[in-house]
């Protein structure tokens, strides 16, 4: 039943002023403003969740970007270096020497708190590796006084970030309550302070007992190489497949079947691609394990359907008149497609590609099966080639690994990692938007 | 236009993949997520202290690791499998079928399994295996009869425990920890409470009774955790009455949030576990493929570094993190040095 018949009992339209709204118009206007209100409410709900998410990520992740360091001068003699290098556990020897030197320095300063070597050891993070790699890279610094900023232990770090407090700290071999007096005294003396944590951005993964030395840098590189493989493979294959299917292929049972299968493939859970990758790329083709190349290939399989579907949609949205005009002035079908249709479809293709890449960037499940989760991101690849073939992790896999570690400091780093992951994603999106602007043409 | 460039890049990638199967120069390890923390510590130190590249340690679980270990010999298979349990006969056979015959077993130490609750929760201070069994067993003995578990609160079967609702978070069946939990806690508890005897008197065979002892109640009072200890910790954080099963190292890293209960009157610590007083513990292992020694650079050196006194000994970084050092480490070192395989002169 329509509104017109509903109102038939009311005043006749002829006797009505256009300046006063009749009941029906009022109702229609009310419906419209109600609908607008729903829309605004929906947007507000969306914004609210976005803000909650962003605030909680930033609040939990921001501490990862700062760290507590012990800032002190240290001199290593050639004799000490030789002694340390002669041992099996060299980094421990470096650490012990550093602790002895630090204690001597503090004794000379006359701090009014009692402490011993063990207390200093509990205070410091695992610094032996840093010291050894410094002297290996700068042999001329042996015998000279060098100013070091070395990470404090995870609980001391937590004390400055509010994660550890005097009330909740339980005495353990990791840190004693009395150690906090020493920490406070050192903080007052300017030896222990909070500094920007560049290691977190540039470093590689570390052992579970060394949160101060952990960084996301190596896995950012891993993700980068993976995305490169995905982009270079899935874009041309995806676009070529969709152009053929959309513009050239005859419409028959066979192409219908392909179409249905592509749509189905887009809905396949990513872990399935991981198993496929393990079986085909590693076990059958003998590609290296844990390599970004294999990760990229697996994610390519996952991304292809997304790209094909969005490319076909944007090719479809180009008006047929453009094809007809090109064909009409004598262009071949291929010329019509490549000179006229494809450039107009480009913004849509780019959007689809970036959505596919973003999805691939955040994927962890398939990487689990091809060995990219664990203690894998150990350093930067030395050559571009090694970037593809040397074992490396990816950002989401690294975040997942950190979140599972016992030390609360790693949990904080997992949140910090999410911030970097989002920044990477944002950068990718910005590049896509800029490219899209350049390709955009109006008709 | 750009299509040409893209095509050439694709060809370049194909060329990369063709040459990718070049020699591998780092040790590749996979397996138990319980061993992973220790392996990651050693891997980092191995890279820092030697001229060999840092080994890659993947997680995934003991069974998955051993399965990949047994896939065969060659550069595209892993060199070492970490395991939180001993390799099974079935797995050794599967290995042999694929040509992996010489396996070196290395025991690195012991891991304690502890029962912990929220720091500010009810006073769960002392458990016996029988308490845990009464709390979560599917069938328990009440008034001389085997019945479906009727208990809602701990105090109903042990007056010394607090009057708090039963909520246990136990490792899921895919964890190696579950096996130890079943073996050392549920089965012991089943025997201690007399439930097993009652079941056998009721006409069950011993094997059936043992299986029945391991059944866990399905009414939500006991929750399987398939994730890692972080997930268990989150569940405990959200539930005042919750009791979780953790590894000793994980608990020691989170003493500000968790308080631990004694088991059988013994409080868990590296000392009580090493001496065997604390009942719930298990050995941790890794398995080395002997055929890869000499082929993959640093493989034997890694195994030797891992088991060195400075690393796996009672004063080393692994014990510092929470591993219970093996009192028989010297024997392990000797076995690694002479590359003694399983089944040879044992």
Same domain, B313 and B184: no
pLDDT of residue B74: 87
Half-sphere exposure for B101 (CA within 13 Å, toward CB): 3
Yes or no, beta carbons of B20 and A235 under 8 Å apart: no
Same domain, A435 and A298: yes
Q: Alpha carbon of B79 to those of B28, B56, B87, B103: distances in Å?
A: 6, 10, 15, 10
Yes or no, beta carbons of A287 and B54 under 8 Å apart: no
Counted domains in chain A: 3
Model confidence at B298, in pLDDT bands (50, 70, 90)? very high
Residues in A closer than 8 angstroms to B250, CB to CB, are 406
A128, A288, A379: residue with CB nearest B21: A288
Residue scoring higher pLDDT (B110 or B175): B110
Q: Is the pLDDT of residue A308 over 60?
A: yes
Which residues 154-173 of A are in CB contact (within 8 Å) with B? 164, 168-170, 172-173
DSSP character for A283? I
Residue scoring higher pLDDT (B343 or B312): B312
Same domain, A176 and A76: yes
Q: What is the CA radius of gyration of chain A?
A: 31
Same domain, B246 and B260: yes
Q: B8 and chain A: CB distance < 8 Å anywhere?
A: no
Same domain, A44 and A139: no
Model confidence at A360, in pLDDT bands (50, 70, 90)? very high
Same domain, B189 and B251: yes
| Cα separation, A336 vs A317, whole angstroms | 15
DSSP helix, strand, coil percent of chain B (3-state; round to 5): 40, 20, 35
Which residues 42-101 of A are in CB contact (within 8 Å) with B? 87-92
Considering only CA atoms, which of A123, A128, A31, A143 is closest in space to residue A79?
A143
Same domain, A375 and A241: yes
Residue scoring higher pLDDT (A282 or B23): A282
Q: What is the ipTM of this complex?
A: 0.85
Same domain, A357 and A421: yes
Tokens standing for residue A321: 């008149």
Yes or no, beta carbons of B310 and A88 under 8 Å apart: yes
Same domain, B222 and B166: yes
List the domain range (segments joined by +) for residue A178: 65-204
Q: A244 and chain B: CB distance < 8 Å anywhere?
A: no
B43, B252, B253: residue with CB nearest A207: B43
Q: Reduce the DSSP state of residue A85 to 3 states and report it.
A: helix
Instruction: For tokens 């003699």, name the residue.
Output: A77
Residue A211 lies in a domain: no
pLDDT of residue A11: 53
Residue A412 lies in a domain: yes
Q: Exposed e or buried b for every residue in B116-145, given b needs 16+ CB within 10 A?
A: bbbeebbebebbbbbbbbbbbbebbbbeee
Model confidence at A305, in pLDDT bands (50, 70, 90)? very high
Give all strands (DSSP E) within A153-236, no chain letters.
192-196
Q: Reduce the DSSP state of residue B58 to 3 states and report it.
A: strand
Same domain, B181 and B293: no
pLDDT of residue B20: 44
Model confidence at B18, in pLDDT bands (50, 70, 90)? very low
Q: Alpha carbon of A170 to those of A165, A290, B116, B261, B338: distances in Å?
A: 10, 40, 15, 16, 44
Q: Is the pLDDT of residue B1 over 50?
A: no
Q: A274 and chain B: CB distance < 8 Å anywhere?
A: no
Same domain, B259 and B181: yes
Helix B329-337 × helix B299-307 angle, to 10°: 170
Count interface pairs A-B at CB distance under 8 A: 166
| Cα separation, A295 vs A226, whole angstroms | 6
- Residue of chain B nearest A158, judged by CA positions: B256
pLDDT of residue B6: 53
Residue A212 lies in a domain: no
Yes or no, beta carbons of B56 and A375 under 8 Å apart: yes
List the domain range (segments joined by +) for residue B226: 112-281
Average pLDDT over residues A336-362: 91
Residues in A closer than 8 angstroms to B10, CB to CB, are 232-233, 236-237
A88, A209, A371: residue with CB nearest B317: A209
Residues in B closer than 8 angstroms to A405, CB to CB, are 37, 230
Same domain, B209 and B98: no
How many angstroms away from the CA of B255 is the closest CA of chain A? Answer: 6
Yes or no, beta carbons of A232 and B17 under 8 Å apart: no
Considering only CA atoms, which of A79, A116, A119, A75 is closest in space to residue A98?
A75
Residues in A closer than 8 angstroms to B43, CB to CB, are 207, 375, 378
Yes or no, beta carbons of B45 and A207 under 8 Å apart: yes
Same domain, A54 and A77: no
Find the helix or strand (DSSP H, E) in which B31 lies: strand B28-31
Provide the percentage of residues in chain B whose pLDDT is more than 70: 92
| Cα separation, A364 vs B251, whole angstroms | 27
Residue B94: CB atoms within 10 A of its CB come to: 16
Long-range contacts of B46-50 (CB under 8 A, 24+ apart): B46/B298, B46/B301, B46/B302, B46/B305, B46/B306, B47/A378, B47/A379, B48/A90, B48/A91, B48/A128, B48/A129, B48/A132, B48/A133, B49/A88, B49/A89, B49/A90, B49/A91, B49/A132, B49/B305, B50/B298, B50/B301, B50/B305
Counted domains in chain B: 2
A128, A375, A407: residue with CB nearest B57: A375
- Residue of chain B nearest A163, judged by CA positions: B256
Same domain, B116 and B233: yes
- Kindly report, residue by residue over A166-177, the tens digit of the pLDDT: 888 888 888 888
For residues A214 and A410, the answer to whether their CB atoms sit within 8 Å is: yes
Q: Exposed e or buried b for every residue in A142-173, given b needs 16+ CB within 10 A?
A: beeebebebbbbbbbbbbbbebbeeeebbeee
Q: Would you say the C-alpha torsion B171, B175, B176, B179 has a positive or negative sign? A: positive
Q: B229 and chain A: CB distance < 8 Å anywhere?
A: yes
Same domain, A52 and A100: no
pLDDT of residue A189: 86
Which residues 119-148 of B are in CB contact (within 8 Å) with A? 119
Considering only CA atoms, which of B24, B250, B9 is closest in space to residue A230?
B9
Residues in B closer than 8 angstroms to A136, CB to CB, are none
Find the helix or strand (DSSP H, E) in which B109 lies: strand B103-118
For residues B33 and B249, the answer to whether their CB atoms sit within 8 Å is: no
Average pLDDT over residues A398-409: 90
The region that residue A238 occupies, defined by phi over 0 for left and psi between -120 and 50 for alpha, beta otherwise, is alpha
Same domain, A54 and A93: no
Residue A55 lies in a domain: yes
Tokens standing for residue A371: 């060995």
Same domain, A232 and A99: no
Model confidence at B346, in pLDDT bands (50, 70, 90)? very low
Give B223-236 as a DSSP string.
EEE-S-HHHHHHHH
Which residues 239-258 of B are in CB contact (within 8 Å) with A? 249-250, 252-256
Considering only CA atoms, which of B255, B262, B235 is closest in space to residue B132?
B262
Same domain, A71 and A44: no
Same domain, B261 and B116: yes
Same domain, B126 and B227: yes
Considering only CA atoms, which of A55, A384, A395, A374 is closest in space to residue A200?
A395
Q: How far is C-alpha A337 from the geometric centre of its chain's CA atoms? A: 37
Q: Alpha helices of A62-110 — where are they, by DSSP H?
A: 78-85, 90-109
Pick from A147, A177, A204: which residue ends a domain?
A: A204
Residue A245 lies in a domain: yes
Q: Which candidate in B4, B40, B316 is best for mutational testing of the A interface (most A CBs within 10 A)? A: B40
pLDDT of residue B19: 47
Same domain, B287 and B209: no
Q: What is the mean pLDDT of chain B?
A: 87
Q: How far apart are the first and last CA of chain A?
A: 42
Give A103-171 as a DSSP string.
HHHHHHHT-SS---HHHHHHHB-S-HHHHHHHHHH-GGGTTSEEEEEEEBPHHHHHHHHTSS-TTTPPP
Average pLDDT over residues B31-41: 91
Tokens standing for residue B282: 């298990």
Tokens standing for residue A307: 């790209």
pLDDT of residue A14: 65
Q: Is the pLDDT of residue B345 over 50?
A: no
Pick from A62, A79, A111: which residue ends a domain?
A: A62
Q: Is the pLDDT of residue A28 over 90?
A: yes
Provide the percentage of residues in chain A whose pLDDT is more than 90: 52
pLDDT of residue A267: 87
pLDDT of residue A46: 97
Q: Is the pLDDT of residue B3 over 70?
A: no
User: pTM of the full predicted structure?
Assistant: 0.86
Tokens standing for residue B11: 């060809």
- Kindly report, residue by residue over A202-225, the tens digit of the pLDDT: 999 998 988 988 999 999 999 999
Give all strands (DSSP E) within B119-256, no chain letters.
126-127, 139-142, 145-148, 168-171, 222-225, 243-247
Which residues 119-158 of A are in CB contact (within 8 Å) with B? 126, 128-129, 132-133
Residue A375 lies in a domain: yes
Q: Provide the pairing of β-strand B126-127 with B258-263.
A: parallel
pLDDT of residue A379: 86
Model confidence at B2, in pLDDT bands (50, 70, 90)? low
B53, B58, B311: residue with CB nearest A371: B58
- Residue of chain B nearest A392, judged by CA positions: B56
Same domain, A335 and A224: yes
Residue A116 lies in a domain: yes
For residues A372 and A393, the answer to whether their CB atoms sit within 8 Å is: yes
For residues B189 and B132, the answer to whether their CB atoms sit within 8 Å is: yes
Query: Residue A381's domain is classified under what CATH number?
Result: 1.10.3720.10
How many angstroms away from the CA of B46 is the closest CA of chain A? Answer: 9
Q: Which candidate in A199, A340, A378, A392 is best for mutational testing of the B interface (most B CBs within 10 A)? A: A378
Query: Residue B83's domain is classified under what CATH number?
Result: 3.40.190.10
Average pLDDT over residues B206-216: 89
Considering only CA atoms, which of A199, A194, A127, A190 is closest in space to residue A156?
A194
Same domain, B38 and B171: no
Same domain, A228 and A352: yes
Residue A433 lies in a domain: yes
The 3-class SS string of A115-134 reads CCHHHHHHHECCCHHHHHHH
For residues A236 and A252, the answer to whether their CB atoms sit within 8 Å is: no
DSSP character for B265? T
For residues B326 and B108, the answer to whether their CB atoms sit within 8 Å is: yes
Helix A408-439 × helix A154-161 angle, to 10°: 70
The region that residue B298 occupies, defined by phi over 0 for left and psi between -120 and 50 for alpha, beta otherwise, is left
């Amino acid at each position: 039943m329509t509104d017109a018949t509903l109102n038939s009992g009311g005043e006749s339209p002829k006797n009505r002023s256009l300046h006063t709204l009749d009941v029906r118009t009022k109702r229609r206007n009310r419906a419209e403003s109600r609908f607008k209100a729903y829309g605004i409410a929906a947007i507000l709900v969306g914004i609210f969740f976005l803000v909650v998410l962003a605030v909680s990520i930033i609040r939990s992740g921001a501490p990862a970007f700062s760290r507590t360091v012990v800032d002190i001068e240290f001199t290593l003699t050639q004799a000490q270096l030789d002694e340390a290098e002669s041992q099996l556990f060299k980094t421990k020897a470096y650490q012990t020497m550093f602790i002895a030197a630090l204690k001597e320095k503090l004794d000379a300063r006359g701090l009014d708190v009692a402490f011993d070597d063990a207390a200093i050891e509990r205070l410091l993070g695992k610094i032996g590796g840093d010291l050894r790699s410094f002297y290996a890279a700068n042999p001329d610094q042996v015998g000279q006084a060098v100013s070091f900023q070395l990470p404090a232990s995870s609980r001391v770090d937590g004390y400055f970030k509010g994660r550890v407090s005097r009330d909740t700290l339980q005495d353990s071999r990791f840190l004693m309550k009395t150690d906090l007096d020493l920490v406070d005294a050192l903080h007052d003396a300017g030896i222990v302070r909070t500094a920007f944590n560049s290691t977190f951005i540039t470093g590689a993964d570390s052992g579970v007992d060394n949160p101060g030395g952990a960084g996301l840098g190596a896995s950012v590189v891993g993700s980068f190489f993976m995305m490169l493989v995905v982009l270079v493979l899935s874009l041309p294959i995806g676009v070529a497949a969709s152009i053929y299917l959309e513009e050239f292929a005859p419409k028959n049972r066979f192409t219908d079947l392909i179409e249905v299968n592509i749509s189905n493939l887009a809905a396949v859970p990513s872990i399935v691609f991981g198993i496929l990758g393990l079986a085909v790329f590693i076990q059958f083709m003998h590609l290296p394990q844990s390599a970004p190349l294999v990760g990229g290939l697996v994610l390519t399989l996952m991304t292809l359907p997304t790209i094909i579907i969005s490319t076909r949609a944007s090719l479809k949205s180009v008006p047929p008149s453009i094809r007809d005009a090109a064909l009409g002035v004598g262009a071949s079908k291929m010329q019509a497609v490549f000179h006229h249709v494809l450039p107009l479809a480009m913004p849509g293709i780019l959007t689809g590609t970036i959505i596919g890449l973003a999805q691939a960037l955040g994927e962890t499940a398939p990487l689990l099966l091809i060995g990219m989760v664990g203690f894998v991101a150990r350093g930067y690849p030395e050559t571009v080639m090694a970037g593809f073939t040397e074992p490396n992790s990816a950002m989401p896999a690294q975040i997942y690994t950190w979140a599972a570690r016992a030390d609360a400091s790693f949990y904080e780093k997992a949140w910090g990692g999410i911030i970097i992951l989002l920044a990477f994603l944002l950068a990718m999106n910005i590049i896509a938007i800029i490219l899209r602007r350049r390709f955009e043409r109006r008709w | 236009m750009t299509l040409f460039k893209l095509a050439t890049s694709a060809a370049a990638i194909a060329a990369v993949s063709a040459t990718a199967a070049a020699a591998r120069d780092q040790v590749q390890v996979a397996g138990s997520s319980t061993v992973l923390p220790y392996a990651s510590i050693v891997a980092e130190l191995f890279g820092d202290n030697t001229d060999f590249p840092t080994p890659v340690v993947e997680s995934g679980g003991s069974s998955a690791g051993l399965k990949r270990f047994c896939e065969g010999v060659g550069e595209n298979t892993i060199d070492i499998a970490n395991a939180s349990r001993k390799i099974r006969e079935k797995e050794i056979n599967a290995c042999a079928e694929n040509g992996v015959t010489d396996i070196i077993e290395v025991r690195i130490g012991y891991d304690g399994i502890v029962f912990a609750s929220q720091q500010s929760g009810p006073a769960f201070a002392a458990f016996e295996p029988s308490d845990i069994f009464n709390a979560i067993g599917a069938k328990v003995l009440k008034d001389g009869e085997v019945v479906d578990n009727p208990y809602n609160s701990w105090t109903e079967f042990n007056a010394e425990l607090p009057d708090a609702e039963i909520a246990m978070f136990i490792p899921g069946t895919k964890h190696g920890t579950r096996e130890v939990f079943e073996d050392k806690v549920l089965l012991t508890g089943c025997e201690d409470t007399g439930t097993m005897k009652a079941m056998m008197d009721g006409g069950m065979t011993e094997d059936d009774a043992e299986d029945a002892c391991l059944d866990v109640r399905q009414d939500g009072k006991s929750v399987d955790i398939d994730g890692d200890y972080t997930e268990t910790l989150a569940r405990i954080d959200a539930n005042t009455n919750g009791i979780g099963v953790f590894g000793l190292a994980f608990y020691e890293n989170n003493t500000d949030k968790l308080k631990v209960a004694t088991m059988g009157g013994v409080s868990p610590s590296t000392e009580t576990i090493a001496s065997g007083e604390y009942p719930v513990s298990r050995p941790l292992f890794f398995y080395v493929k002997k055929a890869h020694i000499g082929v993959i650079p640093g493989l034997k050196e890694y195994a030797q570094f891992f088991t060195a006194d400075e690393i796996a000994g009672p004063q080393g970084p692994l014990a510092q993190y929470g591993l219970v050092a093996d009192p028989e480490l010297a024997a392990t070192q000797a076995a690694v040095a002479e590359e003694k395989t399983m089944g040879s002169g044992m």
